[in-house]
Amino acid sequence: MVTPQRNDDELLTPSEVAAMFRVNPKTVTRWARAGKISAIRTLGGHRRFRASEIRCLLEQVEEHDEV
């Protein structure tokens, strides 16, 4: 039996990313369209985001807010 890995290769949905940044999922979609974050498309055409990239971006935003 193969267990799903929970690591930096994990892919997040727009809703999961939106919850991390406390924004609307549509905002995450706009960021992806604008090239602010990179998205991977599933076979069904849905966007997914690399967890490692999102965590790095979130850390940068949090550091900027603290200054």
pLDDT tens-digit readout, 3-61: 455 555 899 999 999 999 999 999 999 999 999 999 999 999 999 999 999 999 999 98
CATH assignment at residue 26: 1.10.1660.10
Domain range for 37:
11-66
> Residue 40 domain-assigned?
yes
Q: Is residue 6 part of a domain?
A: no
Give a yes or no: residue 47 inside a domain: yes
pLDDT for the residue 4? 52
pTM: 0.81
DSSP H or E segment with residue 30: helix 25-34
Residue 4 lies in a domain: no
Q: Is residue 3 part of a domain?
A: no
Our count of domains for the chain comes to 1
Q: What is the pLDDT of residue 3?
A: 47
Within a 10 A sphere around the Cβ of 19, how many other Cβ atoms? 13
CA-to-CA distance for 5 and 62, rounded, in angstroms?
Answer: 27
